[in-house]
Structure 1
Amino acid sequence: MSTVDCLLVGHNEMSFRDYYGILENMAASSGRDHVAFRDLQFNCVNYEGDHLQGQDMLTTLYNEGRPEHERRTFYNGDCFWTAIAYLGSYLNKRGYSFDYVNLFQDEKERLRKLLLENNYHAVVLTGTMYVFEQNIWEVVRFVRSVRKDVKIIAGGPYISKQAEEREPEYLKPLFRYLDADFYCYSREGEQTLTKLIDALRHGTPLDTIPNLAYREGRGYKVTEKVKDHTPLAQNMVDYQLFAADYAKSGWANIRISDGCPYACAFCSFPEHGNERYVTLPLERIEQELDAIKAAGAITHIFFVDATFNVPKKKFKDLMQLMIRKQYGFKWHCFFRCDQADEEAIELMKQAGCIGVFLGLESASEIVLRNMDKTAHKADFRRTMPIFKRLGIRTMISVQVGFPGETYDTIADTMAFLEEIQPDFTRVQIWFCDVTTPVWYKRNTFDLQGKGYGWRHYTMDAETAVNLVEDAFMRLDGVTWIPDPGYNWVFCYMLENLGMPIERQKAFLGAFAEAARERLVLPGRPQIHADILKEMRELAQFDKEMPVASTQRRPFTGAAYRESEAFWVSLAEPEMEDRRIAATAKATHVHDVTLPALLLPLDELGMPEPVALEAAMLAAIASLDQGSDSVGLSPDGDVPFPVPAAAVASAEARESYESSLRGRLITHRTVGFFIQQHSHKLAYWRKRVPLLQHALVSGVGAQDLAAAVQRFALIPQQLERLELLFLMDRQGDMLHLGLAYDPATVSLDRARQALQSVAKTLPQQLGVNTALLPG
């Protein structure tokens, strides 16, 4: 066996099924919808009984009907990971030997082979993109299953962040759970790592190595914490070492600066690097780009610097260098539009820029001031037209919920997004990170809690996720990036693989419709056929296939906004006591039905179906003056709410029959969804309607399962529903039935309600003869 200093293990992507399950369990254990789990719903769909992210849906639909050798897996991390490149280069320059595995989930068998064929002083696990400890735990378990004797070192941003946020008594249990032998807990651990590997190589003591936790007996000993920083200029990537791996994707992530010159209150950079913000000298950047070119096969670069175009003069010099050298790279970057002018953007285009990420965060001056942001709406208004003219794609980020945020400020932000029309956006909930500057001003903002469990002087996290959902439902003309699972960087990776950006936009638009449908109708088992057809055809981007023509569907942003305006117009002004009563009511599944009552239609004057329906709704609404709406489920369609006022009088029923019913049906799909959003109705100073009674027409009383199934599409409304009436017109007889929950409604109450409706129905139809049920 060969002896090698270390084996570097790159990223481990947790399966989305596991990730979804973790957040679902968090939501269930908290007794409410955990905001992270709510947010996840905007980024996945249900297909063939499984939850799928955007990249998974693309993979599934692309591979349908293809032989095994033509199938592909699309994954937004399918490139050579920067952590491996930097660590490997650092170790190699200092005389340490290493092997590596780039993607754990795809290269387990190669990892097993390396572990069995070599002796390693240590296996080093990186943790760049992790949010849960399970990513690390899974790799540790696998390594231990192959070689119990090998030493395991865990480090990277996940470990360092836990060390910063957790008290020591909570940090050590995490270390025991993960079961690694060593933890490098500094933000930049290259020096700690090399000292540790050297100590393992020579068997020297560990207690003098700073920024280290190591197993000692049944616990862990933690050494002194000191600043551990290696200047970027001293640790450039040796691209020749990894040329073959870079060639697989044609993609390289590079960095030309340390730190950030700004101090945005929501960002952790100010605490971990602002004091040392430096950019590489231009000649050093040139050497880096020359090395990338010499490595061959790298065609696309992502400049990962937080402030790539600062300072402005140096940035323009770099652009002119890239133009002069004619590297031919396509590239994208993070960009500050407050530090840009037309000349700089035009130079970017000539130098190969195809896309920029712009941190808008908010269009509210109040929120921006609290964030200590220096970019404002005027900067975006000035630069966005230039990007559009030059064909440089734009991704704009928005955070919802930072101190100062209100319903009005997010409305301003969404209106501004619609005005400037970027190519992509992702509206996300603000995450309260205790290592960011806002934490030190928390008393100023009455900020309490952290992570996704915060509240402050203008908002709480639960309200913020409601507003993100509202933004997701209403957004029109701007492509929503479903992240996690399909981030803005992935757009360019896919373009490299042959899927044009415009086709991706269409695919993501259809994906967003499917996600909205899932939110509105969670009981629907499958994606709308038209949406699925469009996604399937768009996914087959390497085939000459016709793409389904875009047509008006209820889950587009424009259709939703139109429907929202309609339903809000029908809601009544807010009355606090009624609104509270509406949200407090709860029942369960309607599992008991009364025998059908039969009414002779000829005695009712053989009314037209719509007139009969209106009269029946009016009769149901008259049962209880506390009921604002009666629900209707026409045969074979999605249920929708009917305001009691719409059938309360002969004049109202005439309007219902002639025009309102048609509009209700046009906007039926989101009717209950909008009614259940108390936060949205409260913004319009409207109250939440109380749905106690509902009607299913065209279904016999004996077919209870089919009747309840339609209302199962709207489970939130079922929690309020007491009585589900069934009406079926057969020949010259009218069948009336009733389904109810015996746990909350007595048999006498149900029987009286059915008989009352049967007696009231003739009066609503204007028939004088009193008809009594048989």
Structure 2
Amino acid sequence: MRIKVISPDIVTYGAMVIGGVLEQEGYDTSISRVIEDTDADILILSLYSTQHLLDTRIKKAIRFQKERGGRCYVGGPVSADPSMVLGELSPDAVVVGEGEITISRLVLEGPSPDIPGIAYMKEGEMIVTGSSPPSPMTRPLPLIPPDIGDQNIRGANVYIETHRGCVGGCGFCQVPRYFGQEVRSRSIEDILTEVRAFKDAGVHRISISGGTGSLFASQYGRMNVPAFIQLLQGIAGVMGPKNLSSPDIRVDCITDEVLDAIRDYTIGWVFFGIESGSEGILKKMRKGATVDQVREAVKRCRMHGLKVAGSFIVGYPGETADDYQMTKDLIEELALDDVFVSVAEPIPGTPLADLVLSIPQEENPVYVPHTGEYQALGLSEAEARAFDLMLHADLHKPRFTMTDDRTFNLYLEEVRKQGSDILRSTEVLLRYS
């Protein structure tokens, strides 16, 4: 039996894991980031964005697969709301949640009420068989595409998974809803075997994912700092310190030893999800961290010789002009080495999505027209705040960055795309609410 796994535009780690499971079971399995018609017996689409549900290329590939008598299954983060996936794409089934165990049975048996963790249509009714079982953290090597070395995700060829779960409960994040808040870690030996396989396949730089990197091997919410240090030492020993990043850390999940290890065994950057300078908005976001904790974390990183980047979310429902100004003030105060700005996106299955569905459109900054200094650009209030914050951040980086016409237009294009994508995502949520 021939199986084709497609992860659109970026081959995600999760897609490679599913491919590796199926390959180990003896199936003729291939993997690609190119959305294309295929002659495989089974097409598996690993989808990580709500935008994929609206992608005409994906719809065409599924339609072709079914017309020729092949089967098509969809999994990935979009499975948080299987009704949306079934309604927009019409695959034979959706794998809901973690898929390593479920996909094996689904490929062998086809959709059945006896297989936990799937959703499918039968006689016009959606059948959901409950949650998929948690996957074991010991598994076969991922199925690595031959062009993996050409892939670029924030500077890395691939983000590998060292653990699943996150102790946080941020209202905009899918990780604790998808994997849970209990941390499940892989063995260092298995991780290093995998790292060597990626290096042999042409990977130049690896990044660690898993929500918060320093939670590796933690138990009951308490960090296992020696294990995290051993992990970084081991990967750096294979790849070299300049080819490893462990960027995503919560501001309340650092110690002096953790920061020294990041300095010594990685490229030397820390990426904090700061999100807002307003305590009120941080509480709405369920961030679980305060602005003072952010200040202290950035200060400590610099004491250890690290570069610090931060992400910020604007246009969160309930964000006032005063809340937004607090975020601008914090960016000016922190003078971060790099800043990433996003409009609040209601990802299915998150409290933010529930909040967006519960409020009228006139209270959602994504729908509210901007009437301030950027009015001539035709932006929403959320888009205008994102655009303004990008420009503002450039003025307050340690190395002054002059915004020229090219940068201005790039930022404008980015916020317009974000706004358009989020409007589309919101409309899909509304259709299936």
1:481-534: per-residue Cα shift (whole Å, max 9, x none)?
xxxxxxxxxxxxxxxxxxxxx9xx969865332357899xxxxxxxxxxxxxxx
Q: Which amino acid aligns with 1:121?
A: D
Cα distance change of structure 1 residues 309 and 463 upon mapping to structure 2, 3 Å threshold: farther
1:96-148: per-residue Cα shift (whole Å, max 9, x none)?
331233322xxx4xx55xx2xxxx4322222123425232x523424655883
1:233, distance to aligned residue in structure 2 (A):
1.6
Contact persistence 1:354–1:393 (CA under 8 A): yes
1:414, distance to aligned residue in structure 2 (A):
0.7
1:226 is matched with which residue? 130
Give, in whole Å, the separation in 1 of the partners of 2:87 and 2:229.
50
1:199 is matched with which residue? 109
Q: Which amino acid aligns with 1:129?
A: S
1:91, distance to aligned residue in structure 2 (A):
0.9
Contact persistence 1:186–1:225 (CA under 8 A): no
SS at 2:137 equivalent: helix
Contact persistence 1:184–1:193 (CA under 8 A): no
Matched, 1:512 2:422: no
1:436 is matched with which residue? 350
1:67 is matched with which residue? none
Q: How do 1:209-224 residues align onto structure 2 when only pairs under 5 Å count?
A: 209-214=115-120, 216=122, 219-220=123-124, 222-224=126-128
Matched, 1:6 2:23: no
1:36-95: per-residue Cα shift (whole Å, max 9, x none)?
xxxxxxxxxxxxxxxxxxxxxxxxxxxxxxxxxxxxxxxxx4xx4324311111112233
Cα distance change of structure 1 residues 300 and 434 upon mapping to structure 2, 3 Å threshold: closer
Q: Which amino acid aligns with 1:155?
A: V
Q: Which amino acid aligns with 1:511?
A: R
Contact persistence 1:423–1:479 (CA under 8 A): no
Contact persistence 1:153–1:184 (CA under 8 A): no
Give, in whole Å, the separation in 2 of the partners of 1:312 and 1:508.
43
Give, in whole Å, the separation in 2 of the partners of 1:432 and 1:81.
21
Cα distance change of structure 1 residues 379 and 158 upon mapping to structure 2, 3 Å threshold: closer
Q: How do 1:432-471 residues align onto structure 2 when only pairs under 5 Å count?
A: 432=346, 435-437=349-351, 449=358, 453=361, 455=363, 462=368, 465-466=380-381, 468-470=383-385
Q: How do 1:299-314 residues align onto structure 2 when only pairs under 5 Å count?
A: 299-310=204-215, 311=223, 313=225, 314=227
Contact persistence 2:49–2:78 (CA under 8 A): no
Q: Which amino acid aligns with 1:513?
A: F
Q: Which amino acid aligns with 1:138?
A: R
Q: Where has structure 1 moved over 6 Å in runs of 4 or more?
A: 505-508, 516-519
Cα distance change of structure 1 residues 94 and 429 upon mapping to structure 2, 3 Å threshold: same
1:9, distance to aligned residue in structure 2 (A):
2.2
Give, in whole Å, the separation in 2 of the partners of 1:462 and 1:254.
39
Contact persistence 1:414–1:471 (CA under 8 A): no
Give, in whole Å, the separation in 2 of the partners of 1:288 and 1:438.
35
1:460, distance to aligned residue in structure 2 (A):
8.4
Contact persistence 2:166–2:180 (CA under 8 A): yes
Matched, 1:237 2:141: yes
1:332-372: per-residue Cα shift (whole Å, max 9, x none)?
43111222234322321211234332111111222223333
Q: Which amino acid aligns with 1:512?
A: T
Q: Pick from 244, 255, 277: which aligns with 2:183?
A: 277
1:298 is matched with which residue? 203
2:228 is matched with which residue? 315
1:246 is matched with which residue? 148
Cα distance change of structure 1 residues 138 and 290 upon mapping to structure 2, 3 Å threshold: closer
1:527 is matched with which residue? none
Give, in whole Å, the separation in 2 of the partners of 1:301 and 1:335.
16
Cα distance change of structure 1 residues 122 and 514 upon mapping to structure 2, 3 Å threshold: closer
1:306, distance to aligned residue in structure 2 (A):
0.8
2:421 is matched with which residue? none
1:289, distance to aligned residue in structure 2 (A):
3.2
Q: Which amino acid aligns with 1:153?
A: C
1:477, distance to aligned residue in structure 2 (A):
6.1
2:314 is matched with which residue? 400
1:138 is matched with which residue? 57
Give, in whole Å, the separation in 2 of the partners of 1:271 and 1:9.
24
1:689-730: per-residue Cα shift (whole Å, max 9, x none)?
xxxxxxxxxxxxxxxxxxxxxxxxxxxxxxxxxxxxxxxxxx
2:245 is matched with which residue? 331
Contact persistence 1:312–1:339 (CA under 8 A): no
Give, in whole Å, the separation in 2 of the partners of 1:210 and 1:278.
21
Structure of larger gyration radius: 1
2:422 is matched with which residue? none
Q: Which amino acid aligns with 1:124?
A: I
1:374 is matched with which residue? 288
Q: Pick from 31, 43, 59: which aligns with 1:123?
A: 43
1:370-398: per-residue Cα shift (whole Å, max 9, x none)?
33323333333333345457774433222
1:85 is matched with which residue? 16
Give, in whole Å, the separation in 2 of the partners of 1:268 and 1:323.
29
Give, in whole Å, the separation in 2 of the partners of 1:280 and 1:296.
21
SS at 1:261 equivalent: coil
1:178 is matched with which residue? 89
Cα distance change of structure 1 residues 515 and 81 upon mapping to structure 2, 3 Å threshold: closer
Q: Which amino acid aligns with 1:8?
A: V
Matched, 1:262 2:168: yes
1:404, distance to aligned residue in structure 2 (A):
5.4
Contact persistence 2:341–2:389 (CA under 8 A): no
> For structure 1, which runs of at least 5 residues remain unmatched after alignment?
14-76, 481-501, 520-774
Give, in whole Å, the separation in 2 of the partners of 1:186 and 1:147.
21
TM-score with structure 2 setting the length: 0.75
Give, in whole Å, the separation in 1 of the partners of 2:58 and 2:234.
43
Give, in whole Å, the separation in 2 of the partners of 1:288 and 1:146.
32
1:433, distance to aligned residue in structure 2 (A):
5.0
Give, in whole Å, the separation in 2 of the partners of 1:415 and 1:141.
47
- The aligned length equals 390
Q: How do 1:647-666 residues align onto structure 2 when only pairs under 5 Å count?
A: none
Q: Which amino acid aligns with 1:235?
A: R
Q: Which amino acid aligns with 2:89?
A: L
Q: Pick from 384, 393, 412: which aligns with 1:478?
A: 393
TM-score with structure 1 setting the length: 0.44
Q: Which amino acid aligns with 1:246?
A: I
Give, in whole Å, the separation in 1 of the partners of 2:402 and 2:286.
36
Q: How do 1:478-627 residues align onto structure 2 when only pairs under 5 Å count?
A: 478-479=393-394, 510-514=405-409
Q: Which amino acid aligns with 1:122?
A: I
Cα distance change of structure 1 residues 336 and 194 upon mapping to structure 2, 3 Å threshold: same
1:198, distance to aligned residue in structure 2 (A):
0.8
SS at 1:274 equivalent: coil
**CA RMSD, 1 decimal:** 3.9
Contact persistence 2:47–2:76 (CA under 8 A): yes
Cα distance change of structure 1 residues 479 and 303 upon mapping to structure 2, 3 Å threshold: farther
Contact persistence 2:172–2:350 (CA under 8 A): yes
> For structure 2, which runs of at least 5 residues remain unmatched after alignment?
216-222, 371-379, 415-433
Q: Which amino acid aligns with 1:82?
A: Y
Which stretch of the first structure deviates more once superposed, 462-471 or 395-404? Answer: 462-471
